[in-house]
Amino acid sequence: MKLSEPYSKKQRILQYSTTSKMLLVVFAVSLLLANVVLLQQTRSLSQNFNNEQKQATWFLFQLSKELSELVGEARRLDENVLNIDGAELQYELAWSRFDLLTSSTKANKFFSRNNMHLYFINLFEEFKELEKQLVEARTGDSQAAAAFYRSTQTLYLGLIDFVNQNFRLSSKAYEAQKGQTQRLMQAQYMLFATFVLSIISLTYFFYRESHFHRKLALSDPLTNLGNRNALFITLNKFTQEKRPFSLWILDLNGFKEINDTHGHQVGDTVLREIARRLNSMTLNDFTVYRMGGDEFAVILEGEHLNEENVREQINTVFDAQILNSDKVSTLSTSMGLAQYPKDSDNVDFLISIADKRMYKMKFQR
């Protein structure tokens, strides 16, 4: 037998919900991993930049110190060419600082990232040119000594100006690093916000799925009425709250012949039509349930019951032909009534009483 249309629809909804939930889980995990990777990259970038900056700043500080002392020795050389030894020694020290600065991997990365590396290469080449003046000064040439002093002073002042321009907080190098860090942080915030939205969506899907499963567990897939479980939940709730009600149990007469003669699909159509008509009765505060097979139950709230009116309403459901077809004849029903708390205050006893009265009516037909 094929699945009924309502049941198949619910299965499709459940399958769609499960697929969507799995996709959201994968998406949320991917976002979480992306956040972790981005956070590590941001930390790594910041640490590398700080380490490179510290080493570059240290070498630059040492270079400026040696050049400052070289300017002092050059001034003494300009005053007296006999001070050549001190100038030569300081020149060699400054040369070694240039070597360290240009050969340091971290310092070069820092300078290259901020387009400073070429400046220090050119500065080193200018520094090397000073050696000719220093050699001439050793011969006692005072003009060469004066030129050496002026050149070293110009070189040193140029370095100081470069440092002031590029190593202050508003420099292009700092602004570029700050901008890169801010972009990474913005990307991280966006990923985190998307991750939070995914978690919210996932929570919503879990809630909807839980609600759907609960509804599926408490409803009859063929008629969309509450099932036997839902009936017992309602009965227990009403008895716990001491709310008076009447329980009607209905058993269809002639339904088995319809199933045997015309097939289960026609039988399913009949059950859906009966359920629709029962739900359309003009009664106050009532709920219809399908207990299984061809048995239905109706709960009416309230202490005062017009039994004849209810029986008439239920019988009216079966007065008209069920289907506009010669296949299905008019059905009827046997019904049994039990009232809480008049007949019993126990749910099982109430159902038993209603069942017995229903079967009594059935066998009297």
Q: Domain containing 312 — which CATH number?
A: 3.30.70.270
Of 185, 215, 249, the last residue of a domain is: 185
Whether residue 43 is found in the same domain as residue 139: yes
Within a domain: residue 210? Answer: no
Within a domain: residue 207? Answer: no
Picking from 18-32, 145-159, 298-312, 330-344, which range would have the lowest pLDDT averaged per residue? 18-32
Within a domain: residue 47? Answer: yes
Mean pLDDT of 264-286: 89
Mean pLDDT of 347-354: 93
Whether residue 46 is found in the same domain as residue 169: yes
Mean pLDDT of 204-225: 76
295-301 and 286-292 strand pairing: antiparallel
Partnered with residue 289 across adjacent β-strands are 226, 297
Q: Which pLDDT does position 211 carry in this prediction?
A: 67
Of 185, 210, 242, the last residue of a domain is: 185
Q: Which pLDDT does position 177 carry in this prediction?
A: 61
pLDDT band at 326 (very low <50, low <70, confident <90, very high): low
Within a domain: residue 120? Answer: yes
Quote the domain boundaries for residue 67. Answer: 8-185
Q: Which pLDDT does position 240 carry in this prediction?
A: 93
Mean pLDDT of 159-179: 67
Within a domain: residue 303? Answer: yes
pLDDT band at 354 (very low <50, low <70, confident <90, very high): very high
pLDDT > 90: percent of the chain: 31
Residue 284 has pLDDT above 90, yes or no: no
Average pLDDT, the chain: 81
pLDDT tens digit sequence for 230-240: 999 999 999 99
Within a domain: residue 217? Answer: no
Contact in structure between 86 and 76 (CB atoms under 8 Å): yes
> What are the Cα distances from residue 91, in Å, to 68, 71, 156?
11, 10, 13
Q: Residue 83 CB: number of other CB atoms within 10 A?
A: 17
Give me the number of domains the chain comprises.
Answer: 2
> And the tokens for 354?
């209603």
Residue 130 has pLDDT above 70, yes or no: yes
Q: Which pLDDT does position 153 carry in this prediction?
A: 92
Within a domain: residue 149? Answer: yes
CA distance 60 to 216: 74
Of 134, 169, 185, the last residue of a domain is: 185
Partnered with residue 301 across adjacent β-strands are 245
Whether residue 13 is found in the same domain as residue 161: yes
Whether residue 338 is found in the same domain as residue 244: yes
Within a domain: residue 291? Answer: yes
Whether residue 248 is found in the same domain as residue 128: no
Picking from 17-26, 55-64, 213-222, 242-251, which range would have the lowest pLDDT averaged per residue? 17-26
Whether residue 342 is found in the same domain as residue 235: yes
Contact in structure between 333 and 277 (CB atoms under 8 Å): no
